[in-house]
Amino acid sequence: MMLEGKVVIVTGAGGGIGRDFALAMAAHGAKVVVNDVGASVSGEGHDAGPARRVAGEIAAAGGTAVANTDSVAEWESANRIVKTAIDAFGRIDAVVNNAGILRDRFFFNLSPDDWKAVIDVHLNGTFYVSRAAAPYFKSQNSGRYVNMTSTSGLIGNLGQANYAAAKLGIVALSKSMALDMAKCHVNSNCIAPFAWSRMIGTIPAETPEQQARIDKLKRMETAKIAPLAVYLASDAARAVTGQVFAVRANELFLMSQSRPLRSVHRSAGWTPEAIAETAIPALSAQFHALDRSQDVFSWDPI
């Protein structure tokens, strides 16, 4: 019962990874706000059913949960999500920013609407809900943020410029939250999940390579991600903050963060010609290739 007495908000908890997070938090003793607008993968529509069903599952298993169907993508409604926790349970101890949508397009086909919709839910939504919870965390001198990122942003992927930009932005936001709230004993960490879910189900499988990737993803259960989220939401993780983890089936990774790899110096200063002749040849040995996530994680999940 690692979360006994804690109150946890899980956004996007009506299905997939979010549902497993909510169930696991409750199973470990937390009172859970199950948030989900009930939209399609691309963000259209509204259905209270998914959030209510998951809250009902928690109650049927002997846990405590309330459903909330407010959108994370607007400041006022994000505040209502946090207020739901305060009104129902009197406090808030952890926020799991899991809500997300996909509108995959190659960059040259990406519309401003598709860009904004994905940024609003992922990046703005993470900020809005986290910021709404911050005064409560600050006043009680404790709190946990668990923010969902993706190797699409950390490494790269085709046709996901909007999603990748949002997910890498979440990493920077999470680190800033960790820095700014450290003195209040508030932790902020990221998880990049590998798992088969409704969102991943939208990936096309038109070539043998794509089908092989889908088959590999189908072997990775969403429930495998939940133990790390439970741990990061708990007091046991009090010394863990500002980190980026990835989970792939039974594998758990600590991901690198941007640091200098190599430097060159020229006392006379640099000209464009000197950069071409000296700097780039010296630095290019450690250039990163145009890798995609599946190029880096090329072995079968364990």
So what's the pLDDT on residue 219?
72
> In total, how many domains does the chain have?
1
The yes-or-no answer on residue 136 being catalytic is no
Asked, for residue 296, whether it belongs to a domain, the answer is no
- In a domain, residue 212? The reply is yes
Q: Which of 136, 145, 163, 231 is catalytic?
A: 163
What distances in angstroms separate CA 149 from CA 11, 68, 90, 204, 264, one per listed residue? 14, 23, 29, 21, 33
At 22 the pLDDT is: 98
**153 contacts 258 by C-beta, under 8 angstroms:** no
Residue 283 lies in a domain: no
Residue 263 included in any domain: no
129-177 pLDDT tens trace: 999 999 999 999 999 999 999 999 999 999 999 999 999 999 999 999 9
Whether 282 is covered by a domain: the verdict is no
Residue 300 lies in a domain: no
Whole-model pTM? 0.93
Under-50 pLDDT residues of the chain: none
CATH (domain of 193): 3.40.50.720
pLDDT value at residue 208: 77
pLDDT in tens, 95-115: 999 999 999 999 999 999 999
- Enclosing domain of residue 129: 7-257
Residue 301, domain member (yes or no): no
54 Cβ neighbours under 8 A, 6+ residues apart: 13, 14, 15, 19, 22, 23, 34, 36, 65, 67
Is position 277 within any domain?
Answer: no
Q: What confidence score (pLDDT) does residue 161 get? A: 98
Give pLDDT, residue 209: 74
